[in-house]
């Protein structure tokens, strides 16, 4: 199975799937044609409730800490800083576009948020552990419980969905998304001097927090869960620049071996947790998404998807091979910007570009990398 999944986005002529060429709208149309009966009027409107880190932070760290994230971040699509770490949209933004939703407002946004499409608790830098530290996963779940209780309380006092709020149906039928873990792995790698065994020993405690989050969300009414595994952190230009290495330390495409080995071990444990929870929470749907394979194939076959210099960030300092320097990161004095961000996979040494996120989102929406094999649209089918 793993070989077939990889083949779907490789350069093989036998591949039947190319995420670069996949039109997200066609995914929607095909899903509708196959699964939706003739009348669509009774379908519940989609809502997304998201938890995570910078991979899906649409402005939480800006609202929560005041950390300025201004141009050049956002330069490609929004043409202004939005609190997103990237030149444009994140994967979750493409999900919103696919589902015809407004982009998710951060839970912490105090001025004119719009929660009719859902709510985003993700904050850049978030981890699963330690607990009780802003903005760890357990804190995000606690924030959700307060948000739900307060929303329903206000509606009992006369506030309506038209007041840019989530209603009871939105909470009941929402897709609860979690994308977190890479920061835990990186912190553990740094603490172990990039040693595999000490990091792997900590992975059960990381995935236990994700399991607990799903259980708590289930206890508060969640029944639809969409869980992303972590990406190939060893292909990050930042990591390659920060850690001197030789040929034995990297794989065949130049990514750090130990980083990707711990990511794979984390993903294996997370997939097992999802499997366990499916057997325990019989009336819940828990979808595990293999983001790692999708992202790794971009680095392995960049030209197939229109990218150049896959291990080099677009925005940073230092030039080849990685264009990353901790003293002049993207947006800080001394940084430089590549001529065409759409030719880069990585924006600032860590986070993906709008162009790369589009391809990753399209592959995810295909359902080819999901266990069970479901699309987001199918969450809201009768």
Identify the segments of the chain with pLDDT beneath 70.
1-43, 161
Which residues does 177 contact at the CB level (< 8 Å), separation at least 6?
Answer: 48, 49, 50, 51, 52, 56, 92, 225, 226, 227, 228
If one counts every other C-beta atom within 10 angstroms of the C-beta of residue 168, the result is: 14
The number of folded domains in the chain is 1
- pLDDT, residue 35, reads 40
Q: Is residue 307 part of a domain?
A: no
Which CATH number is 241's domain given?
Answer: 3.40.50
70 included as an active-site residue: no
Q: What is the pTM of this model?
A: 0.88
Helix (H, G, I), strand (E, B) or coil at 226: strand
How far apart, in whole angstroms, are the C-alpha atoms of residue 209 and residue 196? 21
Q: Is residue 197 part of a domain?
A: yes
In a domain, 382, yes or no: no
Asked if residue 343 is part of any domain, the answer here is: no
**Does residue 34 lie in a domain region?**
no
From 87, 351, 362, 370, the catalytic residue: 351
Catalytic choice (31, 348, 354, 366): 348
Q: Which residues form the domain of 271?
A: 47-295+354-376
Looking at the domain assignment, is residue 173 inside a domain? Answer: yes
Measured in whole angstroms, the distance separating CA 131 from the mean position of its chain's CA atoms is 21
> Is residue 317 assigned to a domain?
no
Alpha helices in the chain (DSSP H): 2-7, 24-35, 60-65, 91-98, 137-156, 168-173, 182-191, 196-219, 237-242, 257-280, 291-300, 354-365
Distance in angstroms between the alpha carbons of the first and the last residue of the chain = 30
At residue 83, φ and ψ (nearest 5 deg) are 95, -5
Does the annotation mark 179 as catalytic?
no
348 catalytic per annotation: yes
76 found inside a domain: yes
Catalytic residue among 31, 53, 54, 377: 54
State the pLDDT at residue 164: 84
Q: What gap in Å lies between CA 7 and CA 17, rounded to an integer?
A: 8
- CA–CA dist 329, 166 (Å, integer): 38
Q: What's the pLDDT score for residue 298?
A: 98
């Amino acid at each position: 199975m793993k070989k077939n999944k990889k083949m779907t986005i490789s350069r093989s002529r036998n591949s039947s799937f190319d995420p670069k060429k996949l039109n997200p709208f066609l995914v929607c149309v095909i899903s509708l044609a196959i699964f939706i009966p003739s009348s669509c009027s009774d379908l519940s409107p989609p809502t997304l409730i998201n938890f995570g880190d910078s991979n899906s932070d649409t402005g939480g760290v800006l609202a929560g800490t005041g950390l300025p994230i201004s141009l050049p971040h956002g330069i490609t699509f929004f043409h202004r800083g939005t609190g997103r770490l990237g030149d444009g949209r994140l994967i979750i933004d493409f999900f919103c576009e696919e589902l015809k939703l407004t982009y998710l407002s951060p839970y912490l946004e105090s001025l004119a948020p719009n929660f009719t499409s859902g709510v985003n608790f993700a904050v850049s830098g978030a981890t699963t552990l330690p607990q009780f530290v802003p903005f760890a996963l357990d804190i995000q779940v606690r924030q959700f419980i307060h948000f739900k209780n307060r929303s329903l309380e206000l509606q009992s006092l006369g506030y309506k969905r038209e007041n840019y709020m989530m209603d009871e149906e939105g909470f009941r039928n929402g897709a609860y998304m979690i994308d977190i873990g890479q920061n835990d792995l990186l912190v553990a790698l740094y603490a172990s001097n990039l040693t595999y065994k000490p990091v792997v020993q900590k992975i059960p405690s990381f995935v236990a927090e994700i399991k607990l989050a799903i259980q708590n969300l289930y206890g508060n009414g969640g029944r639809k869960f969409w869980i992303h595994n972590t990406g190939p952190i060893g292909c990050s230009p930042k990591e390659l620049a920060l850690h001197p290495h030789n040929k034995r330390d990297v794989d065949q495409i130049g990514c750090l071996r130990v980083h990707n080995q711990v990511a794979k071990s984390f993903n294996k444990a997370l997939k097992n947790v999802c499997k366990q929870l499916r057997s325990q929470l019989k009336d819940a749907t828990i979808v595990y998404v293999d983001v790692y394979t999708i992202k790794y194939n971009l680095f392995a076959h960049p030209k197939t998807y229109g990218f150049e210099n896959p291990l080099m960030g677009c925005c940073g300092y230092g030039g080849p091979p990685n264009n990353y320097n901790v003293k002049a990161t993207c947006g800080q004095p001394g940084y430089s910007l590549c001529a065409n961000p759409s030719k880069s996979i990585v924006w600032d040494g860590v986070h993906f570009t709008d162009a790369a996120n589009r391809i990753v989102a399209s592959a995810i929406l295909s359902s080819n990398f999901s266990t069970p094999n479901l699309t987001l649209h199918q969450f809201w089918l009768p």
